[in-house]
Homo-oligomer: A and B are copies of this chain.
Amino acid sequence: MKKERFSFKLMNTDPCGARLGKITTGHGKIETPIFMPVGTAAAMKAMTMDQLKAAKAQIVLSNAYHLNMQPGPDLVEKLGGLHGFMGWSGPILTDSGGFQVFSLPGRTVDENGVTFRYTKKSSQIVLTPEKSIQIQNSLGADIIMAFDECVEHPTTHEYAKAALERTLRWARRCMEYHKNPNQALFGISQGALFKDLRQEGIKALIDMDLPGYALGGLSVGEGIENMKKVLDFSAPCLPDDKPRYVMGIGLPEDILEAVERGIDMMDCVIPTKYARSGTLFTHWGKIRISNREFRNDKFPVDTNCDCYTCSNFSRAYLHHLFSANEILGATLTSIHNVRFFLGLMEKIRKSIRENRFLKFKDEFLQLYHRRNKKKTNRKKTRSKPTRDQ
């Protein structure tokens, strides 16, 4: 059976600019805006792929950096690529490793690539644009990412400009090296918080005519207001007929802001990471299931949720699992959080189809913020790199 080629179709644009679309890949279609759960090391943390499917995930993100280290791309390729290896027959996206190496202490960057040590004791490793594509070709994801230099926040205009120009030269090297027509190579825009750099970068990427464009260098501690600014001056520069991906986003409130600004794809470790520490998302805000108030609570985590956990278990049972340090607690809370995020995306898509996204957003946030009136310490939440999932 011939695989379908990668394509994107814009189905509707809400008056506010939010977009409804459909991505086609060789492993199935993806409705956008979409949230992509992260299975860094070819595995969702505490969830099977069957449970992920039941939560209605449409695409999974995995990571070239981690899989290069363990078990290695050649082995994954030999065992059927990522799809066969981890038992997921739907679409997969791999990140290039740019974001991961950026956060390693002692890494050095030059024109060739990034030099780093995996652990303090291991020997030096050089990751180059070509190497990253080679790894991602072996892994066989449907969407792969160009190797970029993600700069720290805050940074200077001078450094951000140098890093952006290097990222663009690397993107061209990625494009030249990449020859697999079954994999769509997305470019990544950098430029920190600088409007001129962001717009210059996007323009250069558009000239390369890639199948999709991502905004990188966000979710590094810049805060939601800065993220909104970057999206405000970046999104209008992106072409209508290609998917737009903001990397590393985020909390429900971040997702809503990104969608409002015309973003189609997002990914984050938050649903599973929060779940393992007992923080659960509900339509009435976040709850900490280990809090004493839930000890006797006979209700499900979220009465509006259709996940396996909410259909079968009480908050009191989840509270008990965390008290008893049962692994099952992490599984049941991860199932719920992932389904919550994917259910939110379903509601978002419905509202865009009906041209009422802003109304939906307001209603959702009004209910969502009722419980958590204290301002979330976003900076702390958002500055943690995904590599530690």
Whether B295 contacts A328 by the Cβ 8 Å rule is no
Whether B48 contacts A328 by the Cβ 8 Å rule is yes
Task: In the complex, identify which listed stretch (A16-24, A189-197, A310-318, A347-355) lies at the interface while the others stay far away.
Answer: A310-318
Whether B312 contacts A41 by the Cβ 8 Å rule is no
Whether B320 contacts A48 by the Cβ 8 Å rule is no
Say yes or no: is A210 at the interface (Cβ < 8 Å to chain B): no
Whether B41 contacts A85 by the Cβ 8 Å rule is no
Q: Please report the C-alpha to C-alpha distance between residue A267 and residue B308 in the assembled complex, in whole angstroms.
A: 28
Whether B317 contacts A79 by the Cβ 8 Å rule is yes
Say yes or no: is A1 at the interface (Cβ < 8 Å to chain B): no
Q: Please report the C-alpha to C-alpha distance between residue A41 and residue B66 in the assembled complex, in whole angstroms.
A: 35
Interfacial residues of chain A within 28-52, with CB under 8 A of chain B in the complex: 41-50
Say yes or no: is A296 at the interface (Cβ < 8 Å to chain B): yes
Q: Specify the chain B residue showing the minimal Cβ separation from A330.
A: B327
Whether B308 contacts A71 by the Cβ 8 Å rule is no
Given that A45-B326, A320-B70, A326-B43 are known contacts, is A312 also in contact with B78, CB under 8 Å in the complex?
no
Whether B328 contacts A47 by the Cβ 8 Å rule is yes
Whether B320 contacts A42 by the Cβ 8 Å rule is yes
Say yes or no: is A321 at the interface (Cβ < 8 Å to chain B): yes
Say yes or no: is A203 at the interface (Cβ < 8 Å to chain B): no
Whether A71 contacts B328 by the Cβ 8 Å rule is no
Whether A46 contacts B316 by the Cβ 8 Å rule is no
Residues of B within 8 A of A319 (CB): 71
* Residue of B46, B296, B308, B317 touching A327 (CB-CB under 8 A): B46
Interfacial residues of chain A within 235-261, with CB under 8 A of chain B in the complex: none
Given that A43-B321, A48-B331, A332-B48 are known contacts, is A296 also in contact with B87, CB under 8 Å in the complex?
no
Say yes or no: is A323 at the interface (Cβ < 8 Å to chain B): yes
Q: A48-B331, A49-B312 are in contact. List 5 more A-B contacts (CB 8 A).
A: A42-B317, A43-B326, A48-B328, A71-B319, A78-B296
Closest 3 pairs between A and B when the two form their complex, measured CB to CB? A87-B312, A46-B327, A41-B324
* A/B interface sample: 17 pairs, CB < 8 A: A42-B317, A43-B321, A43-B328, A44-B328, A48-B308, A48-B328, A50-B308, A70-B320, A70-B324, A71-B316, A75-B296, A79-B314, A85-B317, A85-B320, A87-B312, A87-B313, A327-B327
